[in-house]
Amino acid sequence: MLRYSMTLLGFLLISVGWVQTLSAQTSVDPTGMVPGTTPSVDRSPNPGMPETREPGGIVFSGLRASCVRPGTILTIQGKNFDTMSHNNRLGLNNAGKLIELEILNKNKTRISSYLPKNNVEFNTSYDLVFYQKSNEYTFKQTGLSVRTCPANDITSNDRSVVQDVIILVEEAQENPVRSELQRRGLPIVDVYSLNALQSVLIHTRASNAVTVIQELRVVFPDAEIDLNNDLTASAKPRLYAHKTLGWTSDSGCQNTQLGFPIGLLDGAIDQNHSAFADQSIVSRNFLGDQKIDLNHATSIASILIGNNQEQGYQGLIPGTNIYNAVVLRVSSSGDQLASTVAVLQGLDWLLSQQVRLINVSLSTATANRVLNKGFILSIEKGAIVFSSAGNQGPEAPESYPAALDGVFTVTAIDSRQKIYRDANQGDFIDFAAPGVDIWAATPDNKGAYVSGTSFATPHALAVASLILKNNSKISRQVLSRALSFSLTDLGVPGNDPVFGAGLLKVTC
């Protein structure tokens, strides 16, 4: 068992072995079901057409899985779930019997609830209902049906494969967690000291990871415990970007010397590329012997510090020191993925190197509690994080870490200032920046036109860096206000879920 030191996160990260991307965010130990009662049903006015929109704009649009096993997590998708009051309830109705679902976690577009084991039949369809708890249950149909999996099904969340679990705790909790894992017969795969975050990250493995996570959260309520989910690169290339930002030769912004470093939490930069001649890049690998992705970070770095105008690589802030935390790998199927463990190790290292301004062109639709806690801790310690909105399309749920409070979230526009068609949308969008058909460096001294919110993010970060150049110690709140003075409104007037506050422009 290896122990790794992460200098800035200050939490112990304990990880339980699960390599799949699964949605299992729970916060408390499920307590079973509410005894069945006979409710009065408020049916939809049109037979066969149940209501899907509730008062207050709540919309139920779908379920994450085709079937769910009793005793596991049921994920419900929709809109405006954040407007639900503490009196609102969800339940399953079958033959007049109501089974209450415990809501474990919710945000604007997703609810994670626990499907109890007791009194729930296998291979059965239940109506998902929405109601307020009072002296008498009166509920409305959501228009969704929940089907439980057959008893012998192995494709549900409770699959019998070994999965990675990670636990982020304060240093004082390391030994109690170790003891509890030992008591349960769970291996300690790795322990990472995140000194900058004053935390420890512990990695373990379990064949029933969802249940283990639920139970450990009860034993250690102050810890963050989740799966070792993967983030993906937010990428799917013209020379209009500088003009769109106002970053032209007569703006006085070119050849600006910042005097502080920029962090890139991504794949590796191909430092042999001519775009990076005479540039300063410090790199550290957090992937071990896994195959490292060279494409994504090389393109992003060329947008920031590219220095070969003859080949079209004219970076926004050449000469800036780049600290490259290498966390993005290439999977056996060719996907660009970054595990939660690698991301937190890289984030901690950047903080330990006194890097404050960080580009994160990675995203996941999973609200992983360990990942999110790591970013929250880094922001509390002064980090300024610019993150891509994600490329799952306008109907996709919010992505992380972009949707976290304190993160600057960037979407992509094209040369006509139209939104990138695959960009995520929602109230978590802060700014828009060029990110469609951007000329960028690629490995082996080549170049290509690239598109995605990944490539909008460094443009927005560069604009922010010019403000920080005058005072690198200003707070995130002050920076946010300063950026608000250099915006061009796009789309409907005011802040909107497509463009956020608008297009960032430089002021030099």
278 is catalytic: no
- Containing 99, the helix (H) or strand (E) segment is strand 97-106
Q: Are strands 198-206 and 163-170 parallel, antiparallel or unpaired?
A: antiparallel
- Containing 326, the helix (H) or strand (E) segment is strand 322-326
Contacts of 206 (CB under 8 A, 6+ apart): 16, 17, 18, 162, 163, 165, 186, 212
Contacts of 159 (CB under 8 A, 6+ apart): none
Query: Which amino acid makes up residue 495?
Result: N
Residue (of 404, 350, 403) closest to 197 by Cα position:
350
Whole-angstrom Cα distance, residue 194 to residue 340?
13
User: How would you label 109-122 residue by residue, b for 16+ Cβ within 10 Å and e otherwise?
Assistant: bbbbbbbbeeebee
Whole-angstrom Cα distance, residue 271 to residue 254?
22
113 is catalytic: no
296 is catalytic: yes
SS3 category, 304: helix
Of 113, 199, 454, 465, which one is the catalytic site residue?
454
Whole-angstrom Cα distance, residue 33 to residue 119?
8
Q: Which two tokens stand for residue 424?
A: 């995520």
Of 190, 266, 293, 430, which one is the catalytic site residue?
266
**Residue 455 phi, psi (nearest 5):** -90, -10
Of 203, 242, 273, 296, which one is the catalytic site residue?
296
Q: Which residues are part of the catalytic machinery? A: 266, 296, 454
